[in-house]
Amino acid sequence: MQTYTDEVYATSGTVALTYGTAVTLTLNDRAQFVVALVLSSTTRTPTTAQGSALLVQVSSNSLNKPAQTFLSGPYFTSAPVTNESGFGMIQDIIPLGWQAGPNAVLSFATAPTYTSTTAITTMVGVIYSDGTPPDDWMSKFPDAMGANGAVSTSARQLTVARTALPALTIPKWAKVVVGFRVVDLKEAAITANEEQQAIVDFQFSQAGVQPQIIPSNSISGSIGTPVGGAPSHDWMPTIPAWIPLSGTGDITVTPYVTLQHAVTTGNNVSVEVLYK
Position 152 pLDDT exceeds 90? yes
- Report pTM: 0.94
User: What's the pLDDT score for residue 228?
Assistant: 60
**pLDDT tens readout for residues 188-233:** 777 777 788 999 999 999 999 999 999 999 988 776 666 665 567 7
Model confidence at 82, pLDDT cuts 50, 70, 90, reads low
User: 239 and 170 in contact (C-beta within 8 Å)?
Assistant: no
User: What's the pLDDT score for residue 222?
Assistant: 73
Average pLDDT, the chain: 90
Q: Residue 255 CB: number of other CB atoms within 10 A?
A: 26
DSSP letter string, 114-181: S--SS-EEEEEEEEEESSPPPHHHHTTTTSPPP-SEEEEEEEE--SSS-EEPPPEEE-TT--EEEEEE
Which of 17-26, 170-179, 208-217, 218-227 has the weakest average pLDDT? 218-227
Model confidence at 63, pLDDT cuts 50, 70, 90, reads very high
Dihedral angle at the C-alpha atoms of 69, 138, 130, 108, nearest 10 degrees? 10
Residue bearing the bigger pLDDT, 227 or 22 = 22
CA distance 103 to 55: 26
CA distance 78 to 89: 16
CA distance 85 to 231: 7
User: What's the pLDDT score for residue 251?
Assistant: 97
Q: What is the mean pLDDT of residues 39-64?
A: 86
Position 116 pLDDT exceeds 90? no
Position 73 pLDDT exceeds 60? yes
Q: How many residues does the chain have?
A: 276
User: What's the pLDDT score for residue 189?
Assistant: 72
Position 51 pLDDT exceeds 90? no
User: What's the pLDDT score for residue 224?
Assistant: 66
User: 164 and 88 in contact (C-beta within 8 Å)?
Assistant: no
Q: What is the mean pLDDT of residues 37-50?
A: 80
Q: What is the mean pLDDT of residues 61-82?
A: 85
User: What's the pLDDT score for residue 84?
Assistant: 64
**pLDDT tens readout for residues 225-269:** 666 655 677 789 999 999 999 999 999 999 999 998 888 887 899
Q: Which amino acid is at 183?
A: V
